[in-house]
Amino acid sequence: MRRQDTPAHELPSFARYLHKVFDFRATAASLTDSRCEPEIPPASVFLAAFHGFAFRLPSFEQLEAELTQPALQQWVGAERAFRDDVLRYSLSGFHLEALERMLVQVNRTLKRNKALDQGRVQGRIVAAVDGIEVLSSYSRCCDSCLQRRVFVRQAGVKVEQLQYYHRAVGCQIVSSPCKPFLALEWLQPGEGEDTAALRLLEKLPELYGSRFFDVLLLDALYAQAPVLKLAQRKGWDLVVSLKQNQRDLYQSAVRLFARRPADFSGTEQHDGKSYRFQLWDSEGFPFSADHPQPVRVVRSEEKLTQNHYRRGQLQPETTEHEWLWITTLESQAFPPMLVRRLGHARWKLENNGWNDLTQNWAFKHGFLHACRHRPSTHSQESERKPVANRGLAAVSLILLLAFTLCSAFIHCHSKIFRRYPTSTLEVARQLRFSLSKLPPHIRGPDAPPASPHPA
């Protein structure tokens, strides 16, 4: 079949799926912001931003250009085109609680519909937690900015400058083809990533229940006693990278494994790479002197062979790697080969999560950071002052909603994607192109009739 004869995804199909499965527009109608009697309702602002991300538009300026189309105006429930300053003014004062509830409702629906069952490991759902730096600047800052001093080169001379940045910790399901984000937690001034991660992990059971997922994958930064205690209390199993930050445990495991041959060995090939590995597995290591909970340690020595171009010729190159993981998984159900696979599965959060959001969803664009164009409210002294800037957090939540729902539509609903595999970027292009084929007077099939709003 020729490319032009291949069926394409259309926006009405996407909208019907969102309405039928997630009651999307009814939930969007309950969203609010800090404006008083706005002409453009918060639901229209949200739908415009959501569809902008679903179309993979990189900025609000480009979304403003798209909103000149009458079809898109009808689709988001707006009576006229509106500029990006309306988006900024509304989203800077958006109420985050409703957006968080919407994300939780979407993820609960996905699990209830068994969308997360495919890819279970030994019948268990696997999640990962990791952090990312969202933006940095030497000039623009807000009240929530973190600060650090960095050296930059100016005119050939290293100069120390104060840098402002934002960092967040996220939790993502990594075992299923549809990889939804469960929640996002922002680092506050004066705290580290581990503190924000603990706050996120404490919040997840309140949002989803303690058994929404079963296994949690973590970086070596989170190899701490409070994390182990929290996971034991919530009923989660852990697979945590082990490095020199837990020096006593690391050295004890390395010394023990050096005295005996490997317990398992094997080879593996995928994505054009060849792995040869040897595995050691032992239980009963005390985690630390302050927290002597016995843990299991798995060590992997790996030789990775992959092809690289050298002087115009493709040549195989081999590199050696060593990995250690702490885990609370039982050895009978999870042999060391499976623990190794889970330990490497944490990279899916970086590759299919943060990296995808950064490269293809403009996550690091810095939407509304330090935005001064925001609604005002009366203080206790009866003075009008701008509301706290919630724009960056609001846009990030809308972006995660678009990421999750587009992934669910592609992997759980689209027959076209299953029959004619293509990239998710191509699906976004098809959805955007289908908008231009809609008659301008046709509203979304799941949208209620437009009602007049006060000017």
What would the pLDDT profile of 307-329 be if each residue is shown by its tens digit? 888 888 888 889 999 999 999 99
What is the Cα–Cα distance from 332 to 250, expressed in whole angstroms?
23
Region 385-403: mean pLDDT is 92
Supply the angle between the helices 84-91 and 391-408 in degrees, to the nearest 10: 100
Output the pLDDT for position 445: 59
Q: CB atoms < 10 A from the CB of 61, how many? A: 11
What is the Cα–Cα distance from 169 to 167, expressed in whole angstroms?
7
For the segment 234-262, what is each residue's pLDDT rounded down to a tens digit?
Answer: 999 999 999 988 889 999 999 999 999 99
Instruction: Check: CB of residue 373 under 8 Å from CB of residue 85.
Output: yes
What is the Cα–Cα distance from 383 to 375, expressed in whole angstroms?
13
What is the Cα–Cα distance from 223 to 234, expressed in whole angstroms?
17
Q: Which residues contact 415 (CB under 8 A, 6 or more apart)?
A: none
What is the Cα–Cα distance from 231 to 212, expressed in whole angstroms?
13
Region 204-232: mean pLDDT is 94
Residue 3 reports pLDDT greater than 70: no
Confidence of residue 453 (pLDDT cuts 50, 70, 90): very low
Q: Which residues contact 361 (CB under 8 A, 6 or more apart)?
A: 53, 56, 399, 402, 403
Confidence of residue 455 (pLDDT cuts 50, 70, 90): very low
**Radius of gyration for the chain, computed over Cα atoms and rounded to the nearest angstrom:** 25
Average pLDDT, the chain: 90
Residue 199 tokens, joined: 């706050």
The share of the chain scoring above pLDDT 90, in percent, equals 70
Residue 225 reports pLDDT greater than 60: yes
For the segment 96-130, what is each residue's pLDDT rounded down to a tens digit?
Answer: 999 999 999 999 999 999 999 999 999 999 999 99
Instruction: Check: CB of residue 199 under 8 Å from CB of residue 168.
Output: no
Output the pLDDT for position 2: 47
Cα separations in angstroms, 373 against 6, 41, 91, 101, 209: 45, 17, 10, 26, 38
